[in-house]
Amino acid sequence: MRPPTYPAPQLRPQRSLPTLRTERLTLRPISAMDLDPVHAYLSREDVCRYLLHEPLSLEEVAAKLAAAEQRSAMAGNGDFARLAAVRDEDGVVVGDVILNIVSVEAATVELGWVFSPDVAGRGYATESARALLDYAFETLGAHRAIAQLHPDNTASARLCDRLGMRHEALHHANLWIKNGWEDTSGYAILRDEWDNLAGGPSR
């Protein structure tokens, strides 16, 4: 595989978190007002099976939302935007997505997603992740976007495939999650690969 030809990447720091619009959703910074719908899915065993945490209590979700509300910039390593996915037709929060700056130096970001099982199989997660990738590459100027998932998380792996991400690695026992060491699947896509997909039949 040939390396990209564009010059050394440089992230463009953003002083505020984005609000992104898709065909059916608005992705906007998550807030304490989203407590009930977010708790409804983050308190579920099935939703949390492959997440880093167990099902969360109302107080634990409130703490997560408060921490996310503190974030206001996408500029340095570890900065992240947690965006609620709000369905335009009825204003319901159906899930949330995260974009995290892994490395400013390597212009690399990481994507994450959690959606309510009530809306599974409708393409909302794919639609949201595509908007995140557009923002990451076009606005932030990222060179590379990654996703890390449990190898048994087949719904998430299919999502990565739909996005055109490449399965690059299977890390053996690299994360201590909940009660033990777990493997991680690594997916990635480069900016020029995303540009080549944009507008293509797979989108």
Ligand X SMILES: CC(C)(COP(=O)(O)OP(=O)(O)OC[C@H]1O[C@@H](n2cnc3c(N)ncnc32)[C@H](O)[C@@H]1OP(=O)(O)O)[C@@H](O)C(=O)NCCC(=O)NCCS
Which spans of this chain sit near ligand X (rule: CB under 6 A)? 47, 50-51, 113-115, 120-126, 149, 153, 155-156, 158-159
Asked if 83 and 95 count as a contact pair (C-beta separation under 8 A), the reply is no
β-pairing, 180-190 with 25-29? unpaired
Distance in Å, CB of 59 to ligand X, minimum: 21
Shortest Å, Cβ 124 to ligand X:
4
The smaller minimum CB distance to ligand X, of residues 13 and 186, is found at: 186
Q: Please, what is the minimum distance in Å from the beta carbon of residue 107 to ligand X?
A: 22
Other Cβ atoms closer than 10 A to 186: 17
Contact between 107 and 143 under an 8 Å Cβ cutoff? The reply is yes
Tell me whether residue 182 or residue 193 sits nearer to ligand X (CB atom). Answer: 182
Minimum distance from residue 170 beta carbon to ligand X (Å): 14
Residue closer to ligand X (CB basis): 30 or 104 = 30
| Closer to ligand X by Cβ: residue 123 or 141 | 123
| Ramachandran category for residue 141: left, alpha or beta (phi over 0 → left; psi -120 to 50 → alpha) | left
- We find the least distance from the C-beta atom of residue 162 to ligand X, in angstroms, to be 6
Closest-CB residue for ligand X? Answer: 123
DSSP code string of 88-109: TTT--EEEEEEEEEEETTTTEE
Specify the residue, 17 or 85, whose C-beta has the smaller distance to ligand X: 85
- Distance from C-alpha of 49 to C-alpha of 30, rounded to nearest angstrom: 22
Is the Cβ–Cβ distance between 93 and 86 less than 8 Å?
yes
